[in-house]
Amino acid sequence: MDIRVEKAAPDLLKAKPDENSLGFGKHMTDHMFVMLYDEHLGWHDAAIKPYGNFSLDPAAMVLHYGQEIFEGLKAYHGKDDRIYLFRPTDNLQRMNISAARMCMPEIPVDVVYDALKKLITLDKGWIPKVDGATLYIRPTMVASEAGLGVRPAKQYIFFIINCPVGAYYPEGFNPVKIFVTDKYVRAVAGGVGNVKTGGNYAASIMAAVEAQKQGYTQVLWLDAIERRYIEEVGTMNIFFLIGDELITPPLTGSILPGITRDSVLRLTKDWGLKVSEKRISIGDVLSANEKGTLREVFGTGTAAVISPVGEINYKGQICTINNGKTGELAQKLFDELQAIQNGYTKDPYGWVVEV
């Protein structure tokens, strides 16, 4: 499939934001990629064009029943002005797993990967150069067919937008405080918790707002049946270092199979750590803390990278981790991942590709 390229007129190029105060997801670059789907035509009309609004019928099915999926990956400014992507085809393949679950058409990974590289090259002036800042890439698919019957749509829009970002959390790489909710649940096996669809995030907002009112940055979700077993943090997967064992909940169908999660499992196993994907309850965490064996807690995600957790609140019981400081392992993982992603260290895994 041909990809049409329509560049933004020079006088319409936007001013770039200050790289030292980017925040997350506030500034979009000059261009985007858009591709349309129709059940008869398949994917067609692929174009890189100036960033701009869509025109959607008010009856577009995504607006009513939420047939939407997305991904998150990043482009990095590396040594000698090179540009790198981290595990890009893993994200695109994961998107196709989400598409299958949401009865949406699969994307042609080769075409999209090619478009992504062209788009990043065109907007490469937007990739931040300051340490820790990156270009966040958001591939998205929405159901665009107009209709109010509940069924899979026959038309879709796939698009990629990009924005320069700093740290996801206001705390930066400093430890965040998380609130364990047993009032709300995020997902249940058989549902869509393992799929990157907007509805999972919409459903999480109320718990997050309540946690924020109490001074917590994020919510830690428990399983929906017993409300005991730890699942994820909603914007990241979670790891616990207890004694000498690094533990993360297994992929049982209700949590997101994170690509950073997978990278951390790989790195830590190769470093010789004892690593387990196994069920861990909030009780296990609290009792490890009482015994003094809970050494570190950290989250992993594309947006969050490695995010140390300094405090957990469960029903008013406060668990302070590593005196609220960043742990050694979280720091080592953060440094190693950043070095791999920016091309400063050898990547033995074939995760990084140069654009």
> Residue 263 has which token pair?
């990278």
- The least distance separating ligand COI from the CB of residue 316, rounded to whole angstroms, comes to 28
By CB under 6 A, residue 88 contacts ligand COI = no
The least distance separating ligand COI from the CB of residue 208, rounded to whole angstroms, comes to: 11
Which of 113, 201 has the CB closer to ligand COI?
A: 201
Within residues 200-229, the interface with ligand COI by CB under 6 A covers 201
Nearer to ligand COI, 32 or 95 (CB): 95
Binding ligand COI (rule: CB under 6 A), the pick from 128, 166, 193, 301 is: 301
Residues 92, 106: Cα–Cα separation, whole Å = 10
- If one counts every other C-beta atom within 10 angstroms of the C-beta of residue 41, the result is 10
Q: State the Cα angle at 200 between 305 and 139, rounded to 5°.
A: 60
Bridge partners, residue 351, by sequence:
none
For ligand COI, which residue of 155, 162, 235, 289 counts as binding (CB under 6 A)? 235
**Which strand (E) or helix (H) includes residue 44?**
strand 42-50
Please choose, out of 28-36, 59-67, 185-193, 298-306, the segment that lies near ligand COI by the rule CB under 6 A.
Answer: 298-306
Q: How far, in Å, are 98, 118, 310, 345 from residue 94 at the CA level?
A: 6, 21, 31, 26
Nearer to ligand COI, 130 or 205 (CB): 205
**Torsions phi, psi for 132 (to 5 deg):** 90, -15
Q: Collect all residues with Cβ–Cβ distance below 8 Å to 240 and sequence separation of at least 6.
A: 230, 246, 247, 248, 280, 285, 288, 294, 296, 297
Q: Which stretch binds ligand COI (CB under 6 A): 47-55, 149-157, 175-183, 297-305?
A: 297-305
We find the least distance from the C-beta atom of residue 145 to ligand COI, in angstroms, to be 25
Alpha-carbon gap, residue 240 to 247, rounded angstroms: 5
Among candidate residues 38, 34, 32, the one with its CA nearest the CA of residue 144: 38
Query: What is the chain's length?
Result: 355
Q: How far is the CB of 181 from ligand COI (least distance, A)?
A: 17
Are 200 and 193 within 8 A, CB to CB? yes
Q: How far is the CB of 72 from ligand COI (least distance, A)?
A: 2
Residue with tokens 């690509």: 259
Interacting positions 173-202 with ligand COI (CB under 6 A): 201
- Look up residue 150 and give its DSSP letter: S
Site for ligand COI, residues 17 to 36, rule: CB under 6 A: none
Under rule CB under 6 A, residue 302 binds ligand COI: yes
Task: Give least dist CB 49 to ligand COI, A.
Answer: 24
What's the min distance (Å) between Cβ of 137 and ligand COI? 9
Return the residue matching tokens 């992929």. 251
In the complex, residue closest to ligand COI by CB: 72
Number of residues that bind ligand COI (CB under 6 A): 6
Q: How many other C-beta atoms can be found within 10 angstroms of the C-beta atom of residue 37?
A: 23
Q: Near ligand COI by CB under 6 A, which window of 98-106, 149-157, 216-224, 299-307?
A: 299-307
- Cβ distance 133 to 145 under 8 Å? no
Q: Which stretch binds ligand COI (CB under 6 A): 1-9, 11-19, 48-56, 296-304?
A: 296-304
The minimum distance between CB 297 and ligand COI, in angstroms, equals 18
Decide if residue 72 touches ligand COI (CB under 6 A): yes
Q: Residue numbers of the site for ligand COI (CB under 6 A)? A: 72, 201, 235, 301-303
